[in-house]
Amino acid sequence: MDHEVPGDYVKQLQLAKQLEQKAREAARGRETAEGKIEEASALLLKVKEMNASSAETEKLLTLAQQSYSDKDYKEALSYAVKSVDASARARKERLLDMLREARSLLDRVADLGKAEAETEKVLKKAADSIDSGDLDEAYGLSKNAWDTAERNANRVLSDAFGLGQSSLLFAEKLELRVDKQRTALRNCREALESGDVGKSVELIRSLSGALRQMTLDRFVQRATKLETLLSLEKGFPLQLKEAHEKMAKGRELISHGKVEEAFGALDDAEDIFSRAFGKVAGQRISDLKKRAENVSRWKKVDLGDLEGDTRRLELDERYQEAVVLLDSARSKVRDAEKDVLLRYIAALQPRLKLAHLTNKDVSPALQKLDEARQALQGDDLNRAFALTEEARNIVEERLQGHDQVELELQNAQALRSRCADLGLGC
């Protein structure tokens, strides 16, 4: 019996070693499972921190913890690994959602203003970080991307609101009725203060569109009126090249949405026209008054308060009526000048007749008289009278030495008239 003892001892020793090995393996399995469960628990906190979906992660972690309590460390490890994977998926999806929300925010305000280059750069950096798998870094970058996008959107909304406010003030300056638009602006401010991006964008877009149409209509109205005024240059000696250029510039500016600059160009064009009209009207009034005074030696011309009436029409921007008034005054003066000149020419007829009877060439004088009539048509009375005087001098020069003949003819004519009155044959 004594020789069997060593064999039993060896078997017992081997069994003890096997049990010890299994105990060590079990301990390692427990430690691994425990470590993975701790990792899964920590990741679950991160999932919840970023408001990601945590249902699957929590469920798997609970199963891992239950298996661990049941000392099924292998199964506990399996569930813990799955929980970690679920956490990664949930976190990544949440990060992608954050970037999608940031992009959506920018898209909602895109009609009012494009995203800044720096914002686009931050969004791309966050997206690249997500793709790299470093979710902790990606979370920080994604939060920064969201904050940057929000600030960008707020700047766009703020700028658009400020532009709407400026447009409203400009519309008021143009004396447009903007009661409804003023109310709309208040609603925009309330939407902005409440953080309602969608409503803010809608209200600002509507307000801007309404104000844009109102100011465009007013521009067209004023431009049409100015075009009518500029057309006066066809019958009035106005120098309006610069005014036409300003008008064209205004139309170009309004087509590019530069409203205030467009109206500024229109203001300049109107001012150029006004100054040009005032200058020419003043010159015409002065000329007509002088001509009326010159002709008054033979015939009075009543121009009334021509200067006062014209200036009052200018102040009321009734330029067409001012032109009519000046044209009427010019017609009065011209008629008087024509009457005086024709009487002067008529006084030459006996001398022209005598020249004809004596076969004197007075064609140069007749040419001068035609030129005198043309000068009168051109409102140049002085030249007309000067030409008529030249014609008279030519006639008198041709008739030198024939005055006695004219006197004898006149006496003979008088004698015939007396004989006829007495019924005598002479």
pLDDT along the chain (426 residues), means of 10: 57 64 64 91 91 91 93 92 93 94 92 90 94 92 94 93 93 93 92 90 92 95 94 88 95 93 96 94 94 88 93 94 94 88 84 80 88 83 85 86 66 75 68
- H helix or E strand, kind and range, residue 204: helix 197-230
The C-alpha atoms of residue 386 and residue 294 are separated, in whole angstroms, by 13
**What pLDDT was estimated at residue 399?**
81
3 state SS of 238: coil
Give the sign of the dihedral formed by CA 251, CA 253, CA 256, CA 257.
Answer: negative
| Whole-structure pTM value | 0.65
Euclidean distance between the first and the last CA atom of the chain, given in angstroms as a whole number: 211
**What pLDDT was estimated at residue 352?**
84
**What pLDDT was estimated at residue 318?**
94
Token pair of 293 as six digits: 């005074």
Give the Cβ contact number of residue 342 at 10 Å. Answer: 13
The C-alpha atoms of residue 106 and residue 39 are separated, in whole angstroms, by 37
List of E strands, 265-338: none
- H helix or E strand, kind and range, residue 324: helix 319-357
**What pLDDT was estimated at residue 27?**
63
**What pLDDT was estimated at residue 9?**
62
List the one residue out of 170, 166, 179, 277 whose CA is nearest residue 219.
Answer: 170
The C-alpha atoms of residue 277 and residue 287 are separated, in whole angstroms, by 15
**What pLDDT was estimated at residue 1?**
46
**What pLDDT was estimated at residue 395?**
86
Per the CB < 8 A criterion, the answer to whether 225 and 313 are in contact is no
List the one residue out of 46, 33, 110, 120 whose CA is nearest residue 76.
Answer: 33
